[in-house]
Structure 1
Amino acid sequence: MQYDPSETALLHPEQQPALLSKDKKWTSHATCAELSRLAYWRFEQGGEALAALENILGNAQLGKPQLFKNAESSTQAFAVSSADDNTSYLAFRGTQADDMTDLITDIRFFPADWNGRGKVHSGFLASFQSIEKELDAWFRQCTANTVWICGHSLGAALATLAAAKFHGTRLVNFGSPCVGNPEFAASFTGREVARYVNCADFVTRLPPESSFYQHLQGLRYIDRNGVILPAMDNAAMEVDQDLAAAAYMLDYATQAGSVPFRSMADHAPVNYVRALLGEL
């Protein structure tokens, strides 16, 4: 699968074809990556978009999705279970470039009290709280032995809050910004967390780490060649990112339809899926 530098991949993942299928055995993390990308499909509009999502999930031997949506906060997510109901996935939608409400959510970065340990990003918290009651109801009736919570970008932040509230779940996020302070991050100690960072992805540097914001454990770094490396020191990552940025300027930056910088292209959901599919 080729690296995708296109504006469509970054700004409109819902316009790209689905990849999930039953043709080969997908790992749980790869499934989470693709479900996080499919969460961008405008299923809240019903009609063809919802029917297409249901068809894709069905073909992958997953059940009918349960939708979570709040028009006022522009928050969307869906839950889906395996055919035997032993495994469930909860996927949150990330920032939509054409949705001003999402952009306002992202920039409301002042820390707010969390109903748990630490403080969290106030915009993410407000978005999560807008569908929290519906999520509570779903978890009360969920009988799965394993629940994966996932998301990309803003969706990764919302997934993190959901995992913080619903203990016993497994968190897999992609291109996540920082969500809370060090005390909040420490609340995940001992939990199953996979935090994927695709090389130069700029969103993973926001808000900057400080006494107010700190990333969770569980870094899975994707290098410039799309290889997942569980452990890599900061200096090595910086070198890798510099090489990636230079190569991008030569290979993609001037191509029609490409985003101008590697730091932007690396945030595209499909490029996270690409790395996970490389492990299959």
Structure 2
Amino acid sequence: MDLFTVSDRVRRYRADLLEFMEEYVYPAEAVYEEQMRAADDPHHQPQIVEDLKAEARRRGLWNLFHPHPEWGPGLTNLEYAPLAEIMGRSAHLAPEATNCAAPDTGNMEVLTLFGSQEHKERYLKPLLDGTIRSAFAMTEPAVASSDATNIELRMERDGDHYLLNGRKWFASNAMHKNCKVLIVMGKTDPAAPPHRQQSMMVVPIDAPGVTIVRNLPVFGYTDREGHAEIRFEDVRVPVRDVLKGEGEGFAISQARLGPGRIHHCMRAIGVAERALELMCRRADARSRSGTGSATAPISATGSPRPASTSTAPGC
């Protein structure tokens, strides 16, 4: 069988998702902008997002990312790829509408694989239901923490708890109105081998000692979910909230970030296709100087592509 043969199941999901995008998501983009302007709050949770979530769930377009059949449809990355590409065409609406938005997708997989039963009841199930959001706190301001062995936030054992002290930043989603929980990576044993020094812990965002310092813009833009700087000052975390075990943080990060980066790439293809289509339409509609009045610019949202095509039209 051809490696890229699409199964009947994925073909049905794709058709349903394209219909959902055409009928609900693309028309909602203008409504979203209006509601955000009216709220005058860059981190406002507009009602249109909740409406889209309800419709997506009604249509069975929910948690499509989750590869474990117990918690989602159980699609492989290969099967999920064309669906993520479609959702990427409206990257600020479609992923959240279908409960397939980062960083929740990665956090849900971490809780599925490494969380306790208590973690699953308290956080995983509400995340799967779309009633709460989460953030992943790994990156730090003072070190090159794209290499996770460099992180410095300390996690020191104190009886039945750990004390967390340090700073994180660019914690995506931490400014979201529904963000309730953080997965935090830090060092529990600086003397251990480099890849066994780190641990991950589940921390409520309102735990004493956790301070959301500020939102950090990216290239001058403020995303609704935010990218927060967070300060941890003697934050007490029960031992039971360590994921998998002490020293497992680096291994968990690899398990989490692998699929997470692939999901981002899938969505990026979709938004790039849409940007190319808008450019082509603008180039085709624009009049040259002296040959008549120029056609009005196409809106930033633009009209969606026909459902029958999966590639950008030629220019």
TM-score bracket, normalised by the shorter chain, equals 0.3 to 0.5
Q: Which has the higher contact order (CA 8 A, sep 6+)?
A: 1
* TM-score, with length taken from structure 2: 0.29
* TM-score, with length taken from structure 1: 0.32
